[in-house]
Structure 1
């Protein structure tokens, strides 16, 4: 009869495709607050036919940019459809100057419409562009008025002057997207004593993410790995246990080929993609068991992540 330390753990790791169109544009925060800022401000090549509600682009502003502090507290938010139109009301989603494209502003991951409210901004605010179901005709995001602001955000730290956000950039519709086939990765059965302490790994299995049939015309294509169940704080690359898991104290960590934890929730450029050529690409990865708790029991370990594509 085997002891507990000799019992076997096994795992199934699933990487389904999530065909989300989401452009990630990261912002480097300056050292001082700016009252009038632009989001995006570049050429944006996005799929012509995207389902309503798909996120097309993301842009971030840090609390330091908004109020000159590491944290801010809101006073009010005003939204202006089409970059200067009449107030957007309580609906967080407002139209832009480009047919088929709407926008919204998120604070701590939640979208807000025009209102007075008090919320502490503890992380960068996010401005999104979304497909709204109308025909994407392309064109300039710049608003239709002399002062084309889409959002005005006032804070208790700077009550007299709103942080005003304009949208800039030329949208070019592109026909077609890449595809990412779903797959199941099975890790080998492993004895639990190979995971002797918290942080130790075992049972490594190689796999690859295939990004196929990318059309020509995009300036950049990226992919984002999102754990099903959410990112686990202070546990880079680790997937939450999925339904059907019977083991405890052990999870699955997704890694690069050097064994470093994979970057989650951040767009990563698909190396090798060229605007004039397009093509298919394979991204080598690996997955391992990882001991996450001082007490662990053998059994089945399951985890999953989605792979979303972004274009610009």
Structure 2
């Protein structure tokens, strides 16, 4: 037996503090060729950095042109919901401190006559623009029922209109998520006998502290440093300092189910009337990911993003 097979594997799982504000909203369509983005009460921290994404709304190709693929031939952007147009990729809304952006295939558009085909949902974002968030209604003040974007496609005879609605409520303060290091116990490589085998589970908690009152919902999103590994739920890419191969770290919930990555999960127990601090029980373990393995150190890193609604 080779002596290297008896070496131990150590690991470092790192969860640094991050606070990125991301919101989701449902569509409420006022007509067959229009959509309302957001459209409900949205609570947002009063002071947000310029360019911070505060909310996201997705619109499918079938909503825009009635097909699975649309080709845009013209876009008109209306800052504040009317009273002029803009070529800028980010335009102001009717609420001080809040701007908006329309993204197709990941690119932001203002006025445009470029032909752009898309099969994935287009995205409307609410962004902090560096001004104080004073709250108010997103609905523009020029038209009776104002829209912020008009889109013409080759597939549909009429323009498609995007309205922004919803009341913005500024909240003083955000939650804090302290950084932490979780060290898995050393384990023998023989315990990871086949691909998918796990060993060395270590419990830990994500702490969400000092959340203020007033938000309708607080959520968290787990984002692996290095990106999500396709068809490997909960598995983290190897981080710097790793010397092992064929072995990674899998993050799981308290029941041992692989953690959901990239989607906002509600912080259980948060109350709009009370606020407070919360813990999210988790665990991490080694997982064999290849037929060939070598012992050594296994490191992974995970960002925790907090979102508010």
TM > 0.5 fold call = yes
Matches within 5 A, 1:33-48: 34-48=32-46
**2:11 corresponding residue in structure 1:** 11
**Over aligned residue pairs, what C-alpha RMSD do you find?**
2.1
**2:22 corresponding residue in structure 1:** 22
Q: Does 1:291 align with 2:288?
A: yes
Matches within 5 A, 1:1-312: 2-25=2-25, 34-89=32-87, 91-146=88-143, 147-158=145-156, 160-312=157-309
1:201 is displaced (CA, Å) by: 1.7
The 2-side partners of 1:34 and 1:7 are apart by 65
1:92 is displaced (CA, Å) by: 1.2
Kindly tell me: are residues 34 and 190 of structure 1, through their superposed partners in 2, closer, same or farther at Cα, counting changes over 3 Å? farther
1:304 is displaced (CA, Å) by: 1.0
1:112 is displaced (CA, Å) by: 3.0
In structure 2, the gaps of 5 or more residues are: none
The 2-side partners of 1:198 and 1:73 are apart by 44
The 1-side partners of 2:171 and 2:214 are apart by 7
Kindly tell me: are residues 276 and 34 of structure 1, through their superposed partners in 2, closer, same or farther at Cα, counting changes over 3 Å? same
The 2-side partners of 1:67 and 1:113 are apart by 19
Of stretches 105-114 and 54-63 in structure 1, the one that deviates more from structure 2 is 105-114
The 2-side partners of 1:292 and 1:44 are apart by 42
For the Cα contact (< 8 Å) 1:24–1:310, is it kept in 2? Answer: no
The 2-side partners of 1:53 and 1:223 are apart by 20
Kindly tell me: are residues 47 and 297 of structure 1, through their superposed partners in 2, closer, same or farther at Cα, counting changes over 3 Å? same
The 2-side partners of 1:167 and 1:74 are apart by 20
The 2-side partners of 1:26 and 1:15 are apart by 31
The 1-side partners of 2:197 and 2:105 are apart by 33
The 1-side partners of 2:114 and 2:3 are apart by 59
1:8 is displaced (CA, Å) by: 2.3
In structure 1, the gaps of 5 or more residues are: none
The 2-side partners of 1:73 and 1:296 are apart by 48
For the Cα contact (< 8 Å) 1:34–1:66, is it kept in 2? Answer: no
Q: What TM-score do the two structures reach when normalised by structure 2?
A: 0.92
The 1-side partners of 2:142 and 2:213 are apart by 34
For the Cα contact (< 8 Å) 2:27–2:35, is it kept in 1? Answer: no
Kindly tell me: are residues 112 and 193 of structure 1, through their superposed partners in 2, closer, same or farther at Cα, counting changes over 3 Å? farther
For the Cα contact (< 8 Å) 2:234–2:259, is it kept in 1? Answer: yes
Kindly tell me: are residues 120 and 202 of structure 1, through their superposed partners in 2, closer, same or farther at Cα, counting changes over 3 Å? farther
Aligned length: 307
